[in-house]
Amino acid sequence: MTINNHNYIIENRNGKPKGDGILTQTADISSVRRTNFLSVSGYVRKKGSCTIPRIAEDVGLSLPTVTRAVNFALERGIFIPDGMCTAGRGRKAVAYTLNPDFKHCGLLYFFSDTLHCDIYDFKFNCIYSYSCPISDENAVEILKCNVLKITRYDKKISHVLFAVPGHVFDNSILRSWKFPSLNGLNLKEYFSFLENINVIAVNNMFAVTCSSWKYTNDYHSKTVVSYTFGAKKYGAGISVNGCVLSGASGRVCDIGRLETKETDRHSLEFFKEQISGVISVIDPDKIILYPNGECTYEMLSSELCKIYGDDFVQSLVCGTDLYDDCAHGLLRIFNRELKMNYV
């Protein structure tokens, strides 16, 4: 070993430093363990409750590797035991499940004049939900009041996620045509007084598009458009190979830049011009339509089939519930944040 400027350099027999190799090897091991843990925790989230032998068999990892991942999760309170069950050949084994109280999240999302507020546990069970009116005149006040309400109600909340109408970039609302009083508001900074709570803000259609995996069997190798249209709102989001796209301005889809012949933004002609522009640019595999107000799915799909033919209906999907999918999209963002930070 030689000492150079108080830094220890380990040399091999040829006199060449090998410290970088050790660091690289350590980093590689850490990366592998992280990947293994995420595979195990993802499987447990999907199955609900399972034993170490079952996880090892289905995920394709060795028993020691799965045991190490489970112990890691137990030590940090991510997993909890879930009773005994048969593990094969008449033997009993401990089953493990996610700890619902490991972390909770608060969701606040709105499209027009109603703010939805939900609290979910770590197993993504909704444990508290309500809604209230919101308008541009009181938007900031209403958001603050309800964030304080849910965080005081549930002390286990570690994340508060917003889905708001407008262009959102790096937690800042750059422009909201529906709620101009929110323009320029950085929600993460505004709620920085909340101790030990991470605040995340995204565009509402970004959140909806995060849940578009529900509507296609091959989400990670398809281009999917989520589109809502009706009397009170319209907007779109695009997912390519499992990744939701957004521009530097925070737009999920720059539909505002598509030229349309109609000035009436509530007409079906406007809808046809907009969605046709999106189709011509990206040629999506699936289009998830969320009708609202007096517009029905049949009306919207019929207009598109007039342009592209009756076979085009195979590319269309009727979104079950815009608000429900927005909440599920926020939960996916919450889960992604946890994956980045808890291992």
pLDDT-derived band at 180 (thresholds 50, 70, 90) equals: very high
Q: Is the pLDDT of residue 69 over 90?
A: yes
The pLDDT value given to residue 238? 87
The pLDDT value given to residue 23? 41
Rounded mean pLDDT, 250-277: 68
What pTM does this model have? 0.83
The pLDDT value given to residue 129? 97
Rounded mean pLDDT, 72-87: 89
The pLDDT value given to residue 248? 60
Q: Is the pLDDT of residue 27 over 70?
A: no
Q: Is the pLDDT of residue 22 over 50?
A: no
Q: What is the mean pLDDT of the chain?
A: 85
The pLDDT value given to residue 109? 97
Highest mean pLDDT among 31-35, 137-141, 253-257: 137-141
Rounded mean pLDDT, 255-261: 55
Rounded mean pLDDT, 240-266: 64
**Token code pair at residue 66:** 């799965």
| Angle between helix 297-308 and helix 268-282 axes, rounded to 10 deg | 60
pLDDT-derived band at 251 (thresholds 50, 70, 90) equals: low
